[in-house]
């Protein structure tokens, strides 16, 4: 009889153990279903939030136009990446801008290379920072200044010696912003080292990419405006003076990455 009692106890113990395991399995399943449902709700909430944020279309455009990765040919040489210029890491952004800006100070172009440099950089400005017509003194700027100086000399308002000190040579910097130094430096570097690999338009495209990184909000608005007016997209069209001010009717946010 004692053995029968022991067998019953053992059987009951096994049944209890199985019931416990079954309950735990059911509990895990319920928890799993609950977590899955919660995650789905979170994802839907995130998507809903994104939809609201993208109402203007600018976030879509900005995601499309922001260049990423390493620039071909010169990126590895200069150890710079497009991703280095972003608002999440201002120190790295300033460091990258400085690397490019030092090229402007260390490279002096002459002859045909200088003329080519003037042609390219005359089309680029830093309007969101300093508001100048171009990052360099353009040929037409120098000619207009010369005319005013000559008129002032003729009118006896200034001496000829004073007038000569006021004259400016095409190609010299017209903007002291760090962004301008960076764009001028890159243009010089590409003309000097890869003048046969890059056309003027391709160099302007590269400058436009970096300008997009420097001013992501304004350039997103400009890209949106170009799209709305069915203007062909290129970084040259986006970053240069060709369509300067076209984004003034858009509602893009003002942003700047890197010190001015």
pLDDT digits (tens, 9 = 90+) for 18-51: 444 344 333 433 334 343 333 333 333 323 332 3
pTM: 0.72
- Between CA 206 and CA 193 the distance in angstroms is 15
- Does position 200 have pLDDT exceeding 70, yes or no? yes
- Between CA 207 and CA 125 the distance in angstroms is 10
Please, what is the angle between helix 111-121 and helix 178-194, to 10°?
A: 140
Stretch 206-213: mean pLDDT: 97
The 10 Å Cβ neighbour count of residue 226 is 21
DSSP states of 50-100 as a string? Answer: HHHHTTTSHHHHHHHHS--S--TTHHHHHT--GGGSSTT-HHHHHHHHHHH
Predicted pLDDT of residue 129:
78
- Does position 238 have pLDDT exceeding 70, yes or no? yes
96 within 8 A of 186, measured Cβ to Cβ: no
Average of per-residue pLDDT values in the chain: 79
Predicted pLDDT of residue 248:
80
- Does position 59 have pLDDT exceeding 70, yes or no? no
124 within 8 A of 239, measured Cβ to Cβ: yes
> Model confidence at 169, in pLDDT bands (50, 70, 90)?
very high
């Amino acid at each position: 009889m004692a053995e029968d009692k022991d067998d019953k106890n053992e059987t009951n113990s096994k049944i209890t153990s199985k019931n416990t395991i079954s309950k735990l399995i059911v509990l895990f399943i319920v928890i799993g279903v609950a977590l899955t449902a919660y995650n789905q709700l979170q994802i839907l909430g995130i998507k809903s939030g994104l939809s609201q944020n993208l109402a203007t279309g600018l976030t879509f455009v900005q995601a499309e136009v922001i260049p990423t990765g390493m620039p071909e040919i010169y990126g590895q040489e200069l150890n710079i990446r497009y991703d280095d210029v972003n608002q999440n890491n201002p120190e790295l952004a300033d460091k990258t801008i400085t690397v490019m800006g030092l090229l402007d100070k260390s490279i002096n172009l002459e002859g045909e290379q200088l003329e080519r440099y003037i042609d390219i950089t005359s089309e680029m400005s830093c309007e969101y920072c300093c508001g100048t017509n171009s990052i360099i003194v353009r040929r037409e700027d120098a000619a207009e200044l010369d005319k005013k100086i000559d008129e002032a000399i003729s009118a006896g308002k200034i001496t000829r010696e004073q007038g000569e000190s006021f004259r400016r040579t095409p190609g010299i910097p017209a903007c002291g912003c760090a962004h301008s130094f960076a764009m001028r430096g890159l243009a010089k570097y590409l003309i000097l080292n890869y003048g046969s690999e890059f056309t003027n338009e391709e160099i302007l495209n590269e400058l436009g990419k970096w300008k997009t990184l420097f001013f992501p909000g304004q350039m997103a608005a400009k890209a949106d405006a170009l799209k709305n007016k069915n203007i062909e997209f290129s970084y040259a069209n986006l970053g240069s003076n060709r369509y300067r001010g076209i984004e003034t009717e858009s509602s893009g946010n003002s942003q700047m990455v890197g010190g001015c």
